[in-house]
Amino acid sequence: MDSWSGSYAYAQFEYPVTPGLHTFKWEYIKDYSGIGGMDKAWIDNIELPTMLVTTLFAGPDTESCASAGFQTESSATNYSSVSWASSGDGVFDDPTCLQPIYTPGETDSINGSVDLTMNIIDNDSLEFADDMTLTFSYVTEAPNKAVGDTYIDVYKVSESDYFTNIVEDNSGYEWVIQPSEAGEIMWDGNNATVYWNPGFYGDASLKARGMNDCGGGAFSEELFIFVDNTVGIKNINSDFNISISPNPNHGKFNLAISTDENKNISIKIINYQGVEIMKLENIPIPTNYSRYFNFAYLPAGIYLLAIKTDNEIFSKKLVITK
């Protein structure tokens, strides 16, 4: 391919190499007609063409959230085409690209894992395949309904503690109180403390859910809490008047309501442990309304009768004696 004679400094040479089998040979031949210099030749840093070898790797077996797309981490060399297949019912965003995104299907999620297979055809038209197993992780199950007081008198209580069960496979919890103006909530795992707003009055609810790397799970069943303030319970609207007669009573009494216009109301009676005794919803009433109640079976004690209109809440103490 080339030859040199005489004395030369180091220099770089490049030569094209065509496909096929080749033998590379460097040879030094002594010229006996003359003597001079080092009488040697040096060759260094020879770089030969890289041999094209077919390789493929579908990626390591790994775990991913069932609710999210999975980015494959595959690799291949010396290939002319790629195609992906799944043992489940999920889909690839592009099954002909080297590193597609796989979105699990419903059956994949139920089975808990899926095999993903990468098929290639190399530049010599030979077929190769490799697969990987994708195992799924999930959001946590909903915890149980929170446990704690369901009747709060903000005149007597400024904060309340609640808890729920420990849920497996979670890294934390999220607690929510509604409406938000009912108070501030702080939590440490499955335990929470509500710091009540002394100016709030009415119904509140509390719920929790588990959190992990796959996001938030389903919320628990809501715990309903009635927030009261027994300091000077009275009607806040002079156009809406409530009377209970007789009061105290033996469980039998008449409820009378007078208002300036027809309304829809809800009536609730709870005991002082927060247990709901009765609830009537969406009752249309005229400007003068009367209803008889018979709770003779209830034990003696102090109860709370709460009436809710579209935009206001009223309450009265109900005293039952025996």
The domains of the chain are located at 55-137, 151-228, 240-320
In Å, the largest CA–CA distance within the chain is 141
For Cα atoms 76, 80, 85, give the angle at the middle one, nearest 5 degrees: 65
Span between the terminal Cα atoms of the chain, in Å? 120
Does the domain made of 55-137 have the CATH classification 2.60.40.10? yes
Which two structure tokens, joined as six digits, stand for 317? 């103490």
208-231 burial by CB neighbour count: b if 16+ within 10 A, else e? bbbbbebeebeebeebebbbbbee
**Which value, to the nearest 10 degrees, does the dihedral of the CA atoms of residues 240, 198, 164, 189 take?**
150
Domain 240-320 sits in CATH at 2.60.40.1930
The predicted pLDDT at position 232 comes to: 43
The predicted pLDDT at position 35 comes to: 66
The predicted pLDDT at position 271 comes to: 78
**Residue that the structure tokens 């590379």 belong to:** 24
**pLDDT tens digits in sequence order for the chain, 322 residues long:** 788 877 778 888 888 888 777 888 888 887 666 666 677 788 888 887 777 789 999 999 999 999 999 999 999 999 999 999 999 999 999 999 999 999 999 999 999 999 999 999 998 899 999 999 999 999 999 999 999 999 888 888 889 999 999 998 888 999 999 999 999 899 999 999 999 988 888 889 999 999 999 999 999 999 999 888 766 444 445 578 889 999 899 999 999 999 989 999 999 998 766 678 899 999 999 999 999 999 999 998 888 888 888 877 787 888 898 8
What is the third-level CATH fold of 151-228? Immunoglobulin-like (2.60.40)
The predicted pLDDT at position 36 comes to: 65
Rounded CA Rg of the chain = 41
Peptide bond just before 95 cis, omega within 30 deg = no
The predicted pLDDT at position 225 comes to: 92
The predicted pLDDT at position 43 comes to: 86
Whether 240-320 and 55-137 are alike in CATH topology: the answer is yes
The predicted pLDDT at position 235 comes to: 47
For residues 173 and 73, give the distance between their C-alpha atoms in angstroms, rounded to a whole number: 32
Is 287:262 a contact under the CB 8 Å cutoff?
yes
The predicted pLDDT at position 233 comes to: 47
The predicted pLDDT at position 125 comes to: 92
Across the strands, what pairs with 130? 118
- SS3 of 163-219: ECCCCCCCCEEEEEEECHHHEEEEEECCEEEEEECCCCCEEEEEEEEEEECCEECCC
Is 177:227 a contact under the CB 8 Å cutoff?
no
Q: Which helix (H) or strand (E) holds 81?
A: strand 79-86
The predicted pLDDT at position 34 comes to: 63
